[in-house]
Amino acid sequence: MSSNQQLLVVYKQLIRSLVKSNKRSKIAQITEDNKKQVALLTYRKFNLLRQQASDQASSNSSKHNGHLSELTNEIERLKANDPARSKALHYYENSSSLREMIFQNFPGDAGSVNKRLQHLKDISGFVKNQMEYEELVERYNPGLKMDQEEKVKRTAARVGLQVPDL
């Protein structure tokens, strides 16, 4: 196999491990963003409703209706959005610059090519082991990734209580 082909194989392997390891964090990020967005929109919706209520007293009520249903739809859409189905999970966003790094200013002699090949394998080894390490730590320490709300809920559940929904 020519060195170029070998580089291609290693490049693909690296991209695969990057995509795989980034997937989890991307899902978490999208979820986090969605949550923030929903909170913001809900806040706006409540403001509108309040305004509408006060406007009703002065009898021009239907002014905000269009805007209101827009907000409601947007909130519904965000809530229904499943981050695990996002297309962004299937590619690595810096792949073009990575490709450039690997295939441009290509080293001439076989020794340097081998060194680069080996190094690319080491990078995917790092990405893979880092991901597996984080997964294991998380699995053995389920409290690590819980937010405060979740922790309170579970602590209460331990003694048979339930935290009221607000």
Partner 1 sequence: MFRLTLRPLKQNRAIWGTRRYAKGSALGIDASVENNLQTETNRVSKTLQKFWKVVSARESGGNVTLTLDNKPIRTPLGNSLTVPKDRQFLALVLQNEWSNLTTLSIKPHTLPVTSIVSRCIDLEYVSTPNADGELVAKIGGDRKQIAQTLLRYLDTDTLLCLSPKAEYEGALRAAQDKLYLPVIKSAETFLSKFAEEPVAIQVLDADIHGMRGNSQLEPTRAAALKYIDSLSMWDLAVFEKTVLTTKSFICGLLLLQNKCQVPKTEMPITMEQIAQCATLEIIYQTERWGEVEDTHDVDHRDIRRNVNAACIVAYQE
Q: Which residues bind partner 1 (CB under 8 A)?
A: 18, 21-22, 25-26, 28-29, 32, 94, 97-98, 101, 107, 109, 111-112, 114-116, 118-120, 122-123, 125-127, 129-130, 132-134, 136-137, 140-147, 151, 154-155, 158
Neighbours of 21 (CB within 10 A): 20
Instruction: For the CB of residue 7, give the shortest distance to partner 1 in the complex, in Å.
Output: 13
What crossing angle do the helices spanning 65-80 and 3-57 adopt, rounded to 10°?
Answer: 150
Would you state the torsion angle of the CA atoms of residues 102, 107, 110, 113, taken in this order, to the nearest 10 degrees? -20
Please state the φ and ψ torsions of residue 97, each to the nearest 5 degrees: -70, -30
Query: Chain centroid to CA 1: how far?
Result: 38
Query: Chain centroid to CA 33: how far?
Result: 8
Question: Closest CB to partner 1 among 48 and 117?
Answer: 117
Question: Closest CB to partner 1 among 11 and 71?
Answer: 11
Instruction: For the CB of residue 103, give the shortest distance to partner 1 in the complex, in Å.
Output: 13
Question: Closest CB to partner 1 among 84 and 136?
Answer: 136
H helices present in 58-109, as ranges: 65-80, 95-103
Question: Closest CB to partner 1 among 8 and 98?
Answer: 98
Q: How far apart are CA 17 and CA 125, in angstroms?
A: 8
